Amino acid sequence: MYGMHIRITALAGEDFEPEFYVMVIETEGASICLWHGTSYERAILEAERGREDFGPVIDQVIETYPDEMLREL
């Protein structure tokens, strides 16, 4: 679909606070975690750092984390 790319996603962690993941998705579908943490800003920075090596960044946070408050970030 996208070829090799970087994807930012979020899941509910402890206390339902978002935890962000920056993943490299290979063309074959395998994934490698580049970074994991609680800062959306840092997730974006880490994803942008990998852009040159791994391809475009696709931010799926709004699609993967349903909390309305997160959408305001």
- pLDDT tens by residue, 52-65: 999 999 999 877 76
Look at residue 58 and tell me if it is in a domain.
Answer: yes
Calpha distance 73→59 (Å, rounded): 13
pTM of the predicted model as reported, rounded to 2 decimal places: 0.81
Query: pLDDT tens digit string along 21-70?
Result: 999 999 888 999 999 999 999 999 999 999 999 999 999 987 776 666 55
Q: How many CB atoms lie within 10 A of CB 71?
A: 10
Which tokens is 68 given? 């309305």
Range of the domain at 47: 5-66
Domain contains 46: yes
Identify whether 28 is part of a domain: yes
In a domain, 72, yes or no: no
Q: How many domains does the chain contain in total?
A: 1
